Amino acid sequence: MVQTLRPLPPPRAWLPPPRPDGRVPVDLLALLPEEMEAYLGSLGEPRYRARQIIAWLHSRAVTDLRQITVLPQSVRERLAQDSFVPVPEILRRQADPVDGTVKYLLRLTDRETVETVLMRYRFGYSLCVSSQVGCRMGCRFCASTIGGLRRNLGASEMVAQLQVAQRDLRQGLRADPPFDRVSRIVVMGMGEPLENLDAVLRFVSLAHLPEGCSIGWRHLTVSTSGLVPAIDRLAQEKMPITLAVSLHAPNDEVRDRLMPINRRYPLDALIPACRRYQEATRRRLTFEYVLIAGVNDLPEHARELADLLRGMSCHVNLIPLNPVAERALLPSSRRATAEFAALLSRMGVPATVRRQLGTSIDAACGQLRHRTLASGVVSDSLQERPIGGISSGGLLDTIQRG
């Protein structure tokens, strides 16, 4: 049953930095085609230029508006004066020598930092995108939540993460012909995507644009720790994306310990919401399940999980735990992992063990950012308190106080 608890304060949203005269510039990278057409119409420009600008910004990953040479010089100058394109600074770019995974630590225009991970698979490149600066979900196995939540990301800041990876691939940094572009996106980086749903929906719509990156709907995945109202709202959008639910436990007792959000939306609320989502979208669900030694990896846990998901069209993605120094949790053994996957399969639940990527470069969510901040290399505003006074344990404290 969903508990009646006081709502959490909404995360702070991102806005483009104001001009010296106080005007807020147009967030050009976040405009959908019809919005771009309307904006250009207000400048007296023809509508077809909207597609040209979107192609140069999204497909070519151009960040300097003066470089869009298909536009007249006067239009380029006007855009540069009236609009804004966020360009994150690459503070760290770490490549795993074994599997080629690249992890970026990016500094945003307000000096906050986020992570982005570029992963190489047999089908091409997949990008893991962050949706918030930090996180307040408090999951006990995750480094993103250690520093609490700073703010939401804007859709253009998510697009900017994609631009960084696309430019690297175009310039041959990690290119592996015929794969020279990002072909899949998972919004599974820092943050709870469904807590920033409007910006995330705008971002995936932009990533899907044919004149932009043209990433297919079925190659776009959004994750959630289990925000039931947001899952229901996402179902109403009827977008044929993949929803990945971070489950990580087969019962409330274990999930309460691992994921404080479960005390707000326990399994008897979350699982029916997942079924409603599937009924509305006709899409197979993915359930993420981090295997933690002695906590959620026993045979009885596998049997409980199979019973919980019975009758649902779904796939369980078993994830070897990437240990976080501040968390006293250990990954399951290879034998326990294999037995868990085999037991699920025998009970009719499709399951695979995710290939472990980037283990030598802090590729797990939030690890590189947390280690960098802890070292004092990046300071400035980054050491300030999280918004709303909510730190790594803040969500749990809020839920317990009601």
Residues marked as catalytic: 115, 365
Angle at 397 between CA 393 and CA 399, to 5 degrees: 120
**Strands 89-95 vs 124-128: parallel, antiparallel or unpaired:** unpaired
Query: To 10 degrees, the CA torsion angle through 16, 216, 120, 377?
Result: 10
Residues 166-175: contacts with CB within 8 Å, 24+ apart?
166/61, 166/213, 167/61, 168/93, 168/102, 168/118, 169/118, 169/125, 170/61, 173/102, 174/95, 174/100, 174/102, 174/118, 174/120, 174/125
Task: Please state, in angstroms and rounded to a whole number, the distance separating the CA atoms of residues 230 and 193.
Answer: 10
Angle at 182 between CA 181 and CA 187, to 5 degrees: 165
**Smallest Cα–Cα separation from 369: which of 140, 204, 135, 209?**
135
The residues with which 288 forms a beta bridge, in sequence order, are 246, 317
Asked if residues 50 and 37 have their Cβ atoms less than 8 Å apart, the reply is yes
Amino acid symbol at 339: E
